[in-house]
Amino acid sequence: MLDRTKTPAKTIAPRDFESHPSYIYPGYKSTVKRGPTQPLIPLKASIGELQQPVYGHSSIGEFDNDLTRNARRNGEPLGERMILTGQVMDERKRPIRNTLVEIWQANAAGRYVHKVDQHDAPLDPNFLGAGRCMTDDEGRYRFLTIKPGAYPWGNHPNAWRPQHIHLSLFGEHFASRLVTQMYFPGDPLMQYDPMVTGTPAKYRNRLVADFSLDITEPDYALGYIFDIVLRGADETPFENR
């Protein structure tokens, strides 16, 4: 979907649908209400949709990929600073260049800047929890942010979401969007979370970032690597298959 090489379509690896969570997963209650119950009907894209330009570099602000700076009002955001980086690749591990990557997340206390989020945790006036960047010529993206906190979400008794960051990738037109979530290694809440367990067990590790001392900046921020594979045998599980 996001591969802009000139490789003939017949050589593109098929989607690994088994690696993705189901549209309806009873353990994740809201999917029962919003998941489709009838077979999906493919819609042919219009010429206008196919020819929309990709988001350009001019649309990216200087601090859009630095969530510790893009919403400052009167000081530093609170919490543990972290670096999130990775490479976006196709099924042959070739880099996907100039792709818009967006992230959004809760703050260090586990609360989103959103009117629907009424979790009894403080908002941080210096942290928006959203950022974006373009992948470079090697398909790499990089964000500086604050490690998000866990939060209750009411899906089941004593339900808490693991620490996580949402990622969205755009292709050449708005309809070519892929969405996933990234989790942190060793989080004990993952085994109880239906958004994690809804993904087949043997593919869940693809949703967990790797801690990297090489990416870590001394005395400043811990580093994590989360690579994203768009298709093929190592495909990252996405929420919109």
Domains of the chain: 56-229 (2.60.130.10)
Confidence (pLDDT) at 39: 81
Q: At 88, give phi and psi (nearest 5°).
A: -95, 125
Contact 107, 146 (CB under 8 A): yes
Confidence (pLDDT) at 10: 47
Confidence (pLDDT) at 58: 58
Query: Cα torsion at 228, 231, 233, 238 (round to 10°)?
Result: 60
What stretches of 27-92 adopt beta strand conformation (E)? Answer: 81-89
∠ Cα 150 224 199 (to 5°): 60
- Quote the CA–CA distance of 132 and 155 in Å, as a whole number: 29
Confidence (pLDDT) at 1: 47
Confidence (pLDDT) at 38: 84
Q: Taken in order 35, 39, 45, 46, is the CA torsion positive or negative?
A: negative
**DSSP designation for 30:** H
- Quote the CA–CA distance of 169 and 23 in Å, as a whole number: 19
Tokens coding 93: 């591990």
Confidence (pLDDT) at 70: 95
Contact 238, 19 (CB under 8 A): no
Active site members:
112, 151, 161, 164, 166
Neighbours of 105 (CB within 10 A): 27
What stretches of 100-201 adopt beta strand conformation (E)? Answer: 100-104, 130-134, 140-146, 151-152, 160-161, 164-170, 177-183
The tens place of each residue's pLDDT in the chain, 241 residues long, gives 454 444 444 455 667 777 888 888 889 888 888 888 888 777 665 544 444 444 455 578 889 999 999 999 999 999 999 999 999 999 999 999 999 999 999 999 999 999 999 999 999 999 999 999 999 999 999 999 999 999 999 999 999 999 999 999 987 665 678 999 999 999 999 999 999 999 999 999 999 999 999 999 999 999 999 999 998 999 999 986 5
Contact 211, 152 (CB under 8 A): no
Contact 111, 121 (CB under 8 A): yes
Confidence (pLDDT) at 30: 87
Tokens coding 13: 């690896």
User: Whose CA is closest to 166, among 113, 81, 102, 224?
Assistant: 102
Confidence (pLDDT) at 36: 85
- Quote the CA–CA distance of 164 and 129 in Å, as a whole number: 12
Query: Cα torsion at 62, 67, 71, 77 (round to 10°)?
Result: -140
Confidence (pLDDT) at 174: 56
Q: How many CA atoms lie within 13 A of 233 on its CB side?
A: 2
